Amino acid sequence: MAQERPLPSVVERMWGREPVTRRGPRPRLDLATITDAAIEIADAEGLTGVSMAAVASRVGVAATALYRYVDSKEDLLTAMTDGIVPPPPEPEGTPWRDYLALWTRIQRDLLLEHAWLLSVVRLVPPLGPQRLLWFDRALTALEGTGLGPGEKVNVVTSLTGYALTDATLTYGLGVGDPQMESASISGAADYGEMLTGLIDPETYPSLSAVLHEGAMHGAEGWVEDADFVFGLDLLLDGVEALIGRRAR
């Protein structure tokens, strides 16, 4: 048994453990209020709108007062990644494959609805109660498959990564970055067109071939729902094969 180490204070607060204080004026805020305000700003204006000053003024407080609740802006961003996550669907009775497909899709959609998440979530492992609830339910869905604990964790991890990858790609080829506009690229067709104009067929033979076969400007675009399902099935087929091996 290892010795308990003090937890980062954001983590404490994400779990609702505000420090118990007895004397002095009562706190006017708590972490959740601040986090919610920051999320609203991010949804409306993107991550660039989320300054300490903007968040503070939205909750009616001086910018520097936030540092009573958060050690740094980075901590605030961490708290936001948990605050945005809704409860996961419950897996009971659903076959593992159906559940995990749904689980992955909802995560992907959440990332697309709140594109600022893509920039933040990547760098922070799940630490808060909401994201860990998702983690838990995916593991639940894999019970009875015969996979070992490490294997389950690996499978879930791969699916989270897939949601992130797909959302990033869809977003990256889509409307473009917050304000950069990605200089007139919007959509896979534009992207393919751009590449066609840049690459020469001798140095990039296979890419040229694929572009000419129209892989990136079909009627449906490049990364659409069909592509999400395609990649997801690739992964789930792998999982299914593994489960088959373990069940033997």
Binding positions for a copy of itself, 26-65, rule CB under 8 A: none
Residue 173 interacting entry, from a copy of itself, DNA, none, C-beta within 5 to 8 Å by type = a copy of itself
- Identify which of residues 63 and 241 has a Cβ nearer to DNA in the complex: 63
Q: Using CA atoms, how far apart are residues 162 and 135, in angstroms rounded to an integer?
A: 14
Q: Which does 21 bind (CB under 5 to 8 A by kind): a copy of itself, DNA, none?
A: DNA
Nearer to DNA, 74 or 109 (CB): 74
Mask of contacts with a copy of itself, 70-89, x by CB under 8 A?
Answer: --x-x---------------
What does the alpha-carbon distance between residue 156 and residue 139 come to, in Å, rounded to a whole number?
7
CB nearer a copy of itself, residue 24 or residue 197 = 197
CA distance 47 to 41: 8
Total count of residues recorded for the chain: 248
Site residues (CB under 7 A) for DNA, limited to 70-109? 72-74
In the complex, minimum distance from the CB of residue 86 to a copy of itself, in angstroms, rounded to a whole number: 16
Q: Report the distance separating Cα 223 and Cα 188, nearest Å.
A: 7
Rule CB under 8 A: choose which of 165, 175, 225, 246 binds a copy of itself.
165
Among positions 24, 25, 93, 197, the unique one binding a copy of itself when judged by CB under 8 A: 197
Helix axes 129-141, 96-113, angle to 10 degrees: 150
Give the residue, chosen from 133, 146, 186, 187, that forms a contact with a copy of itself under the rule CB under 8 A. Answer: 133
Partner touching 229 among a copy of itself, DNA, none, CB below 5 to 8 Å by kind:
none
Measured CA to CA, the distance from residue 177 to residue 172 in angstroms comes to 7
- Long-range Cβ contact pairs of 1-6 (< 8 A, separation 24 or more): none
Binds DNA by CB under 7 A, chosen from 11, 54, 110, 194: 54
d(CA 148, CA 141): 13
Q: What angle do CA 133, 137, 140 make, to 5 degrees?
A: 140
Q: Please identify, using beta-carbon distances, which residue of 58 and 158 lies nearer to a copy of itself.
A: 158
